[in-house]
Chains A and B, each alone.
Chain A
Amino acid sequence: MAIGATHIDHIVISSNNSGAVAQTFADNLGIEIKRKMIRPGTSAQLAFAKLQEVVLEFAGPPQVNPDEEVKAKLWGMVLAVEDIDAAVADLRSKGYTVGDPTKAVQPGAKIATVKGGTSGVPFAMIQYNALPIEGASA
Protein backbone atom coordinates (compact mmCIF):
# COMPACT_ATOMS: atom_id res chain seq x y z
CA MET A 1 0.00 0.00 0.00
CA ALA A 2 0.97 3.62 -0.10
CA ILE A 3 0.58 6.14 2.69
CA GLY A 4 -2.95 7.10 1.65
CA ALA A 5 -2.28 10.81 1.35
CA THR A 6 -5.34 12.84 0.45
CA HIS A 7 -3.76 16.28 0.10
CA ILE A 8 -1.04 18.62 1.27
CA ASP A 9 -2.34 19.67 4.64
CA HIS A 10 0.14 22.39 5.39
CA ILE A 11 3.31 23.96 4.18
CA VAL A 12 5.73 25.41 6.68
CA ILE A 13 7.62 28.64 6.18
CA SER A 14 10.29 28.89 8.83
CA SER A 15 11.86 32.18 9.87
CA ASN A 16 13.43 34.17 12.65
CA ASN A 17 10.27 36.29 12.93
CA SER A 18 7.07 34.49 12.00
CA GLY A 19 4.86 37.47 12.74
CA ALA A 20 6.75 39.73 10.33
CA VAL A 21 6.82 37.13 7.56
CA ALA A 22 3.12 36.38 7.94
CA GLN A 23 2.39 40.11 7.81
CA THR A 24 4.44 40.49 4.61
CA PHE A 25 2.48 37.70 2.97
CA ALA A 26 -0.76 39.26 4.16
CA ASP A 27 0.16 42.72 2.93
CA ASN A 28 1.68 41.68 -0.40
CA LEU A 29 -0.60 38.84 -1.41
CA GLY A 30 -3.81 39.65 0.40
CA ILE A 31 -3.66 36.41 2.37
CA GLU A 32 -5.68 36.49 5.57
CA ILE A 33 -3.86 35.36 8.71
CA LYS A 34 -6.58 33.36 10.44
CA ARG A 35 -4.87 32.32 13.63
CA LYS A 36 -1.81 32.93 15.76
CA MET A 37 -0.63 30.75 18.61
CA ILE A 38 2.30 29.71 20.75
CA ARG A 39 3.20 26.07 20.25
CA PRO A 40 2.90 24.21 23.55
CA GLY A 41 6.22 22.79 24.67
CA THR A 42 8.53 24.71 22.35
CA SER A 43 6.90 28.16 22.68
CA ALA A 44 7.46 28.64 18.94
CA GLN A 45 5.40 31.48 17.52
CA LEU A 46 3.04 30.27 14.81
CA ALA A 47 0.70 32.03 12.40
CA PHE A 48 -1.65 30.34 9.98
CA ALA A 49 -3.38 31.20 6.73
CA LYS A 50 -5.56 28.86 4.73
CA LEU A 51 -5.70 28.71 0.96
CA GLN A 52 -8.48 26.25 0.22
CA GLU A 53 -7.31 22.87 1.51
CA VAL A 54 -3.72 23.89 2.27
CA VAL A 55 -2.65 25.75 5.40
CA LEU A 56 0.37 28.03 5.25
CA GLU A 57 2.12 27.81 8.60
CA PHE A 58 4.55 30.57 9.51
CA ALA A 59 6.84 29.30 12.24
CA GLY A 60 9.41 31.21 14.26
CA PRO A 61 11.23 31.23 17.56
CA PRO A 62 9.69 32.43 20.82
CA GLN A 63 11.94 35.47 20.98
CA VAL A 64 12.45 37.90 18.14
CA ASN A 65 15.47 40.16 17.83
CA PRO A 66 14.10 43.40 16.36
CA ASP A 67 17.53 44.42 15.14
CA GLU A 68 17.99 41.29 13.08
CA GLU A 69 17.12 41.13 9.39
CA VAL A 70 14.02 39.00 8.87
CA LYS A 71 14.97 35.82 7.04
CA ALA A 72 12.62 33.04 6.00
CA LYS A 73 12.77 29.86 4.03
CA LEU A 74 10.32 27.41 2.62
CA TRP A 75 10.84 24.52 4.99
CA GLY A 76 8.69 21.45 4.60
CA MET A 77 5.23 20.06 4.33
CA VAL A 78 2.70 17.90 6.08
CA LEU A 79 0.53 15.47 4.16
CA ALA A 80 -2.94 14.52 5.35
CA VAL A 81 -3.43 10.77 5.50
CA GLU A 82 -6.47 8.63 6.16
CA ASP A 83 -4.82 6.24 8.63
CA ILE A 84 -1.62 7.44 10.21
CA ASP A 85 -0.83 4.20 12.00
CA ALA A 86 -1.07 2.29 8.73
CA ALA A 87 0.99 4.93 6.92
CA VAL A 88 3.72 4.81 9.55
CA ALA A 89 3.79 1.02 9.45
CA ASP A 90 3.98 1.04 5.66
CA LEU A 91 6.90 3.46 5.54
CA ARG A 92 8.75 1.60 8.29
CA SER A 93 8.33 -1.62 6.31
CA LYS A 94 10.11 0.14 3.45
CA GLY A 95 13.04 1.06 5.67
CA TYR A 96 12.05 4.59 6.63
CA THR A 97 12.65 6.01 10.06
CA VAL A 98 9.34 7.48 11.18
CA GLY A 99 8.50 8.89 14.59
CA ASP A 100 5.61 7.46 16.54
CA PRO A 101 2.35 9.35 15.93
CA THR A 102 1.80 11.96 18.62
CA LYS A 103 -0.94 14.41 19.46
CA ALA A 104 -0.80 17.39 17.09
CA VAL A 105 -1.64 21.00 17.94
CA GLN A 106 -4.69 20.62 15.70
CA PRO A 107 -7.62 19.33 17.77
CA GLY A 108 -8.17 15.61 17.43
CA ALA A 109 -5.19 15.11 15.13
CA LYS A 110 -2.11 12.92 15.32
CA ILE A 111 1.14 13.69 13.53
CA ALA A 112 4.26 11.70 12.70
CA THR A 113 7.54 12.88 11.23
CA VAL A 114 9.35 11.08 8.43
CA LYS A 115 13.11 11.27 8.76
CA GLY A 116 14.97 11.12 5.46
CA GLY A 117 14.23 9.55 2.10
CA THR A 118 12.15 12.51 0.92
CA SER A 119 14.56 14.28 -1.45
CA GLY A 120 15.56 16.74 1.23
CA VAL A 121 12.01 17.78 2.10
CA PRO A 122 11.18 17.91 5.81
CA PHE A 123 8.07 15.81 5.78
CA ALA A 124 5.37 14.75 8.20
CA MET A 125 1.96 13.09 8.05
CA ILE A 126 -1.18 14.10 9.90
CA GLN A 127 -4.46 12.36 10.47
CA TYR A 128 -7.49 14.34 11.58
CA ASN A 129 -10.24 12.79 13.66
CA ALA A 130 -7.69 10.42 15.13
CA LEU A 131 -8.32 11.36 18.76
CA PRO A 132 -11.30 12.52 20.78
CA ILE A 133 -11.50 16.30 20.76
CA GLU A 134 -11.24 17.68 24.28
CA GLY A 135 -14.32 19.60 25.30
CA ALA A 136 -16.42 18.20 22.48
CA SER A 137 -19.67 16.58 23.56
CA ALA A 138 -20.30 12.98 22.62
Chain B
Amino acid sequence: MRVKRIDHVGIVVKDLDAALTTYARNFGFAADASRGGDVAALGIRNAFMPVGESDLEFIQAVADEGPVAQFAKERGEGTFMLSIEVEDIDAAVERLRGTGARVGSPNNGVAFVSAKSAHGVNLQLVQRK
Protein backbone atom coordinates (compact mmCIF):
# COMPACT_ATOMS: atom_id res chain seq x y z
CA MET B 1 0.00 0.00 0.00
CA ARG B 2 1.36 3.40 -0.88
CA VAL B 3 0.02 6.60 0.61
CA LYS B 4 0.55 9.47 -1.80
CA ARG B 5 -0.59 12.74 -0.25
CA ILE B 6 -3.23 14.54 1.72
CA ASP B 7 -6.07 14.87 -0.75
CA HIS B 8 -8.23 17.20 1.27
CA VAL B 9 -9.35 18.32 4.69
CA GLY B 10 -13.10 18.25 5.27
CA ILE B 11 -14.53 21.18 7.20
CA VAL B 12 -18.12 21.14 8.40
CA VAL B 13 -19.79 24.55 8.21
CA LYS B 14 -23.24 25.83 9.04
CA ASP B 15 -23.58 27.96 5.92
CA LEU B 16 -21.59 26.85 2.88
CA ASP B 17 -21.96 30.07 0.94
CA ALA B 18 -20.92 32.20 3.90
CA ALA B 19 -17.87 30.03 4.55
CA LEU B 20 -16.79 30.23 0.92
CA THR B 21 -17.17 33.98 0.97
CA THR B 22 -15.10 34.22 4.16
CA TYR B 23 -12.30 32.04 2.86
CA ALA B 24 -12.25 33.79 -0.52
CA ARG B 25 -12.42 37.36 0.74
CA ASN B 26 -10.23 37.03 3.78
CA PHE B 27 -7.76 34.32 2.85
CA GLY B 28 -7.66 34.61 -0.93
CA PHE B 29 -8.74 31.09 -1.85
CA ALA B 30 -10.89 30.35 -4.88
CA ALA B 31 -13.55 27.68 -5.10
CA ASP B 32 -13.13 25.12 -7.86
CA ALA B 33 -16.36 25.53 -9.78
CA SER B 34 -15.91 22.17 -11.52
CA ARG B 35 -16.42 20.22 -8.31
CA GLY B 36 -18.86 20.10 -5.45
CA GLY B 37 -22.59 20.65 -5.21
CA ASP B 38 -25.38 18.61 -3.76
CA VAL B 39 -24.54 15.07 -2.70
CA ALA B 40 -27.96 13.70 -1.87
CA ALA B 41 -26.66 10.26 -0.93
CA LEU B 42 -24.64 11.79 1.90
CA GLY B 43 -27.13 14.50 2.81
CA ILE B 44 -24.63 17.28 2.17
CA ARG B 45 -23.66 20.21 -0.03
CA ASN B 46 -19.96 20.72 -0.57
CA ALA B 47 -17.38 22.85 -2.34
CA PHE B 48 -13.64 22.62 -2.78
CA MET B 49 -10.93 25.25 -2.51
CA PRO B 50 -7.45 24.19 -3.67
CA VAL B 51 -4.53 25.18 -1.44
CA GLY B 52 -1.30 23.96 -3.01
CA GLU B 53 -1.57 20.28 -3.86
CA SER B 54 -4.44 19.64 -1.44
CA ASP B 55 -7.97 20.99 -1.08
CA LEU B 56 -10.16 22.33 1.63
CA GLU B 57 -13.59 20.73 1.35
CA PHE B 58 -16.39 22.74 2.92
CA ILE B 59 -19.38 20.62 3.85
CA GLN B 60 -22.83 21.66 4.93
CA ALA B 61 -25.38 19.16 6.15
CA VAL B 62 -28.70 19.39 4.32
CA ALA B 63 -30.27 16.34 5.96
CA ASP B 64 -31.01 15.65 9.60
CA GLU B 65 -29.25 12.31 9.58
CA GLY B 66 -25.74 11.21 8.76
CA PRO B 67 -22.21 11.81 10.03
CA VAL B 68 -22.03 15.44 8.92
CA ALA B 69 -25.38 16.32 10.49
CA GLN B 70 -24.30 14.54 13.66
CA PHE B 71 -21.01 16.46 13.76
CA ALA B 72 -22.83 19.74 13.18
CA LYS B 73 -25.24 19.00 16.03
CA GLU B 74 -22.48 18.08 18.45
CA ARG B 75 -19.73 20.52 17.53
CA GLY B 76 -21.21 23.10 15.20
CA GLU B 77 -18.38 23.82 12.78
CA GLY B 78 -14.82 22.56 12.46
CA THR B 79 -12.40 20.08 11.00
CA PHE B 80 -14.28 16.91 10.29
CA MET B 81 -12.31 14.54 8.12
CA LEU B 82 -8.92 13.83 6.63
CA SER B 83 -8.84 12.44 3.12
CA ILE B 84 -5.71 10.61 2.06
CA GLU B 85 -4.87 9.70 -1.51
CA VAL B 86 -3.60 6.18 -1.96
CA GLU B 87 -2.16 4.55 -5.03
CA ASP B 88 -4.39 1.46 -4.92
CA ILE B 89 -7.56 1.74 -2.86
CA ASP B 90 -8.36 -1.95 -2.96
CA ALA B 91 -4.93 -2.78 -1.57
CA ALA B 92 -5.29 -0.05 1.03
CA VAL B 93 -8.64 -1.36 2.21
CA GLU B 94 -7.30 -4.90 2.33
CA ARG B 95 -4.31 -3.81 4.39
CA LEU B 96 -6.46 -1.87 6.81
CA ARG B 97 -8.91 -4.70 7.23
CA GLY B 98 -5.94 -6.98 7.85
CA THR B 99 -5.04 -4.86 10.87
CA GLY B 100 -8.57 -5.21 12.20
CA ALA B 101 -9.74 -1.77 11.09
CA ARG B 102 -13.34 -1.27 10.01
CA VAL B 103 -13.40 0.09 6.47
CA GLY B 104 -16.26 0.48 4.04
CA SER B 105 -15.98 -1.06 0.62
CA PRO B 106 -14.59 1.28 -2.04
CA ASN B 107 -17.19 3.13 -4.08
CA ASN B 108 -16.07 5.22 -7.04
CA GLY B 109 -12.53 5.26 -5.70
CA VAL B 110 -13.50 6.35 -2.20
CA ALA B 111 -13.59 4.36 1.04
CA PHE B 112 -14.36 5.53 4.55
CA VAL B 113 -12.47 4.26 7.58
CA SER B 114 -14.45 4.00 10.79
CA ALA B 115 -13.38 6.67 13.25
CA LYS B 116 -13.26 3.93 15.87
CA SER B 117 -10.38 2.40 13.93
CA ALA B 118 -8.38 5.64 14.03
CA HIS B 119 -8.84 6.67 17.67
CA GLY B 120 -11.74 8.95 16.71
CA VAL B 121 -10.36 10.58 13.56
CA ASN B 122 -12.59 10.41 10.49
CA LEU B 123 -10.48 9.14 7.62
CA GLN B 124 -11.29 8.79 3.96
CA LEU B 125 -9.16 7.00 1.42
CA VAL B 126 -9.31 8.08 -2.18
CA GLN B 127 -7.74 6.81 -5.36
CA ARG B 128 -7.43 9.37 -8.13
CA LYS B 129 -7.27 8.29 -11.75
Evaluate whether A5 and B9 lie within 8 angstroms (CB atoms) in the complex, with A75-B79, A94-B26, A120-B76 already known.
no
A53 touches B51 (CB 8 A): no
A54 touches B78 (CB 8 A): no
Interface extent on B, as a size class?
35 or more
Residue of A nearest to B80 (CB): A74
Interface extent on A, as a size class?
35 or more
- CA A32 – CA B79 in complex, angstroms? 23
- CA A120 – CA B56 in complex, angstroms? 13
Residue of B nearest to A76 (CB): B79
Residue of A nearest to B12 (CB): A120
Which residues in B have some Cβ–Cβ distance to A below 8 Å? Answer: 1-6, 9, 11-13, 19, 22-23, 25-29, 51-54, 58, 75-82, 84, 92, 95-96, 99, 101, 117-122
Which residues in A have some Cβ–Cβ distance to B below 8 Å? Answer: 1-8, 11, 13, 15, 20-21, 24-25, 27-31, 51-54, 56, 70-77, 79-80, 91, 94, 96, 117-122
7 other A-B residue contacts (CB within 8 Å) besides A11-B82, A29-B96, A52-B4: A7-B53, A13-B82, A24-B119, A29-B84, A30-B95, A72-B121, A120-B76
A/B interface sample: 26 pairs, CB < 8 A: A1-B28, A2-B26, A2-B27, A4-B28, A5-B28, A28-B96, A29-B3, A29-B92, A51-B84, A52-B5, A53-B5, A53-B52, A54-B5, A54-B53, A72-B120, A74-B79, A74-B82, A74-B121, A76-B79, A77-B9, A77-B79, A94-B26, A119-B11, A121-B78, A121-B79, A122-B79
